[in-house]
Amino acid sequence: MAGEVEVRGFALMLAVRVLYVAYLAWLFVPETMLHRIGVTYYPSKHWALAGPAWLTLALVWGWWMYEGYNMTLVTPLTSRRQFEDSRCKTPISVGLVSVEHSTENSVPPLCHIPPAQVSRALFGRQHSGSTVRSS
């Protein structure tokens, strides 16, 4: 016997399909035919394209703002909040010679990797002391 979640999921799937067919009918059926069958109150057909375009733009904008907000929360590598405690396991203390140039195919042991080393591994070496100036 189907559970409550399955029944609600099936009902939601049917509702979405019915609404999609109604959307396509509103989009492609001429207004004169809609008036003949008694449908006289509906949004402007301008919104058939503008609505999905606005929704897509809102999703892209939301993703962009989410990424930007997360970037504002990242502390710089020289921040005092980037610290190690006394129980921190360094790569050398667990027997790893180098985290960046591992030759084994197995999963390495869990250890703390300094943020500067992670940045070098992901983004390459950066020139120290150089600043980017805008003109």
58 domain-assigned: yes
133 domain-assigned: no
Question: Can you give the C-alpha Rg of the chain in angstroms?
Answer: 29
Please tell me the distance from the alpha carbon of residue 68 to that of residue 73, in angstroms, as a whole number.
9
pLDDT at 135: 45
% helix / strand / coil in the chain, to the nearest 5? 50, 0, 50
Q: What is the pTM of this model?
A: 0.53
Both 49 and 21 in a single domain?
no
Give the DSSP letter of residue 127. -
Both 96 and 116 in a single domain?
yes
For residue 38, pLDDT over 50 is answered with yes
Q: How many whole angstroms from its chain centre is CA 110?
A: 27
45 phi-psi bin (left φ>0, alpha ψ -120 to 50, beta other): alpha
Q: Based on the structure, what is the number of domains in the chain?
A: 3
Domain of residue 22 covers 1-42
Least confident of 8-12, 49-53, 55-59, 92-96: 92-96
The stretch 18-44 carries a mean pLDDT of 92
pLDDT at 101: 61
48 domain-assigned: yes
Q: How confident is the model at residue 81 (pLDDT cuts 50, 70, 90)?
A: confident
Question: In this structure, what is the dihedral angle of CA atoms 108, 125, 119, 67, given to the nearest 10 degrees?
Answer: -140
134 domain-assigned: no
Give the DSSP letter of residue 3. -
Q: How many other C-beta atoms are found inside a 10 Å radius of the C-beta of residue 120?
A: 13
